[in-house]
Structure formats: C-alpha cells, structure tokens
Structure 1
Amino acid sequence: MSYLGPDFDPQPRRPRRRPLTVALVALVPGALLGWVAYEALGGADDGGGSDKAAVGTPAATKPSASSDAKEPSPSDSPKDSSENSPEPAASGPLKGKVVVIDPGHNPSNFQHTAEINRKVDIGTGFKECDTTGTATNSGYTEAEFTLDVAHRMRTLLEKQGATVKLTQDGDRSYGPCIDERARIGNKAKADAVVSVHADGAGTGNRGFHVILPGPVNSGAADTRPIVASSSDLGERIAGNFVRVTGSAPSNYVGDGTGLVTRKDLGGLNLSTVPKVFIECGNMRDSKDAAQLTSGAWRQKAAQGISDGIVSFLRG
C-alpha cells in the first residue's frame, strides 16, 4: 500500500516515542507504541499499493526476465480448501471468540474490471470497490499471498478455540468490495478483524507495517468507538510479528514504529468492531519478495499475526 503520490497529505504528527528496534520488541512485544497519523483522502483504495491497479490487467500475471524470487510451489501452501464458513470451535482459550480474517483482493479481480472499478461510499468519500493488488516481479500475486496466510491463520486460531470466518476464500468471482468486507466483520460481531496485505512500493522500501483506524465521524463512518481497541490490537500484532518473523518495521512509513494511522480506508472507516490492516512486506523489493514467496516464512507471518490476535483477545 503506497503513501506516495499527488493525493498523499500527511497529517501533523503526534510526539514520537523512541523508534522501535527489533531487539527491544523481541523482548518486549508491547514496545511498539505510538504511530504516525497519515490521511490520504482520495488516494489508493483499501490495500491499494503504488502499483495496485483498479483497471485493466492484474499487476503482474507472468514472471519477468528479472524475477526476484521463484514462484512458490503448490507444496508451499496449506491444503485447506474448506468452504468459507466458520467451523465449530474447538475447546481452547479463545472459545466463544469470533475472528474475521480479510484476505486482501481476489485472484480473479482482473477479470472483472468494471465491477471492481465501481465506486462505493466509505464515509469520507467514494472509492473503487477493490483493486487487483500487486505482485512480485516473478508474478506471485498479492491475492495468492493473502489467501495463503489467511488459511494458515485460520488453522492456528481454530486450534485456540476461536470461531474463524474469512471475508472471501477464493469462492467468488471478484471482491468483495471494501464496504462489504467491513460489513462481514460487523455482522459477525467479530472480536477482532485483520485485513492481510502485502505492499507494492519501490525497490529498497522494506519491512512490514500495521495500519490503524484514525478517528472518523463522517457519513456512514464512525470509528471513534473502535480507535482505542484497534490500536491495542495493532500494537500487539506488530510486536508479535517482529518476534516471530524477525522482520523489521517499515523503513518508509511509520517512523520505525511499524504503526501507521489512516482515515481514508473504507475497510477501517466502516468497521464497528476492532480492526487493523497489516502490510506484511514489500513485494517489489527483492529481499522482501524472497520472504513473501517462502512457505516457511508465510507460516511465521501467520503465527506472528495470530499470536497478536490471541494476546489481544486474552487481554
């Protein structure tokens, strides 16, 4: 998700806490405190990175001659093709808790450009229903990545006793639109919602960041009741993501904290339950792409995000 371009309008920053270091957070996950407020009114839509297209063809469909990583083999992905409905929760510490995982984009979006270009109301304005997402230079798409991580997270969280629902499981022709993604979490009365993404920023931009909802009260959007709880959720996810994956926070947004606040994302603006986005890395950087295309690393990413959710739900 890119923050550059003519529509990017950074907001005044709050006083900063000291930048996060990996060593500190590995010892104290709660060290990820503070964030920088960004407002990009009219910018890219939810999960839309610097090269995430809302029209035309997918960001990448074929490996390029200068591919940065090999495309994962089928054995890298968990064999989890259950239908998109919550399984009966097992007994465990999260029994009775509902988690909604929102895998960003849809592998078939590029075949439905008219539908995903349709504008929807996000409270602060109108944005495209969805985008195609980005991809590595080798052609591994963000939509494939997010669904794979979502499956891994579902397995981990269900073992903790949670009831888990996905906003999409490769079971629909496109979307859902960003407003519907928010409604799915709201309707489920989710205790936590996480939207999984990977960024499409320039080469040399590395690291993950968690996006928190800013206070919005406009039209159909009122995030004020969920700002504090979403911040808590995001901080716990960021701390655990560092601890499990060893990845550093973004070097291009967030001032080293791994936390960014935005007011222009419909998936956050329209949520009535605690929700955050996570950009797990930059698909356009060769070093980050090598991690994102690794099944072993995606398992760590799923574990780190899930551990953050568990920490949040257990208090």
Structure 2
Amino acid sequence: MIAAGIVGLGWWGRMLLEAGRDLPGFRFVHGAARHAEAGAPVAAQHGLRFSTSLEALLADPAVQAVVLATPHSAHLAQIRAVAAAGKPVFCEKPLTLTRAEAVAAVEACRAAGVPLAIGHNRRFLPTIQAMKAIIAEGRLGRLLHIEGHSSNLNSSQNFAPWRADPAESPAGGLTGTGVHVLDAFTNLVGPARRVSTQLAVQKPAPGALDSLSVLLEFANGISGTLAAVRATPRYWRVHAFGDRASVETVGDTEIILREDGREPERIGFAPVDTLRAELAAFAAAAAGGAPYPLPPEEAVATVACFEAIVRSVAAGGAPMAV
C-alpha cells in the first residue's frame, strides 16, 4: 500500500482525490494547500491530515509518495524537494513550462533514484493505446501526417485565477487542453522539430474567446496540425494518416480504421477512468513494480514542443525550432 500526500486541493486536486478513492494499493493520507480556509475542509472531507506547506507534508513519516496538483511554475522546485526527500513524485501536466526545467526535473528524480510520473492521463485511453499498436504494426504504411484537436469550456469555468494567468497558462488553450494533443503526438509519432502558430483572440481572459492553431514538423519528417479552443463544448480527436491507411479517435471509446478498398472499421472500447488508471500506474512504479508508462525523454520532448509553441505565439506565429 502506497500512502501518498497531495499538494494542491483545488479543482484538479479534488478530482485526483476522488479518482484515488478505494484504489487498491494506494491511498491519500495527507493534503497540503496554501490557504487553510479552502484546503482544510477538503482534507477533512477525505479524512486526510492537513498542512499549509509542502515542507510540512514531507515531514510526515506516513507519506511515502507525493502528488502535485499545483501551479505550473512551481513544479520544478516542488519536484526537487520531493525527490530530495527520497519520495516518488507524480506531477500534473504540463511537467514544467520550459525544456530546461523539464530536464532538471527528470535529472532530480533520476539522481535521487525515485520515479517521476506526469499526469498525461489520456495516454491511458484504450483508443490511444490501440492507435499506438496499429501504427507500430505498420498497418498505416508510411506515416505522412497527424492531426489533433482538444477543446473544452475551460475559459468560462470558475477556476482559480492562476489558471487564466498567461504566465501560468500561455498560448490560449495550449496549457489546459492542447498539451494532451502534444503528448499524444509524442507518444504516437515521436518528437517535433519545428512549429509555427496562429493564436486568434476575440476576447482576452477572463472569459477568453480564442483559438490556437499549430503547424508541426516532426523529426521523422511527417507533418502535423493541432487546434485548441477553450470556449466550446468538449471535443477530442486524434487522426494519423499513412500511405496505406489512417486511424482516428473521436472521443474516448471508439477508433475508426480506414484502409484502401475496405469499408471503415469502427472499433469500440469500454470507458476507462484515466485519472484512476494513472494513479494506479504511479502506485505500481512507487512500489517498485512496472515503470510508469511515460518515459522521461518523451515528457521532455513534449515540454520542448510546448515551449516552442509559446515562443512562436509570442513572436506573432513565426516558425520556431523545438
């Protein structure tokens, strides 16, 4: 049984607490938040000890591992502190806001000999796993292009103010939703090497009305496009194209395989609680079992692409090397 502490008891921290409820081999025992008036009732609701700092949580001898659901700019310092305490760490996405910080986070955990897990929960969708297998089997032929779209009503929700701060959530819908597509791209076709962008802003935050479009060139020579809108109903799609076939997922429970000369094949999957699945994988890694199924080098590659997109947006859409 892995007894975990969680830092950050806001909207997403509460989602993780619910996902970890009655999870075999894992339980939350301690919660920390900067503001006791908001955090203490959440901790009490879930039967957790409560403190107002990461340092106090790490001093709790019952805490064997730590989950971070905190502002993105705080991740590196917190990961270093958890690793220095010799505890496995799960960090919400994005891992960091820059490649240099991502490398430093990975190195801190590697030097301490502790697992590092990142909350790219959509890796645990059976649809994405099926797409990865189909691509690996060569059924698409030579890969040519990949498309991805991830949107939701993020900008109209009453989240903590930091989530709308461009310093914490740059490039429109990239940080909240688009980063899921970047991780899917890294997972399915490998790292990107060049990006260019368009961020169309009709209304700035709060209540932002904007859309992000990204053109990508990958290290293996294929092309890609990404779109993210943060003021429209939830939509998730990834579509990979080869010279013999294409495969796409629209939503979380179906893929469509299109092969020349055949009717499109629709393959359905049972729904999966991806937050619960990622916590289970973290618990296994923390207990010395199977490694967390997101290699650190892929996490760094995703952050590197994220950073290049942010730089492109800041430069008016100019192409940027990753």
Higher strand content, 1 or 2 = 2
Q: Which has the higher contact order (CA 8 A, sep 6+)?
A: 1
TM-based fold match above 0.5: no
Q: TM-score, normalised by structure 1?
A: 0.27
Q: TM-score, normalised by structure 2?
A: 0.27
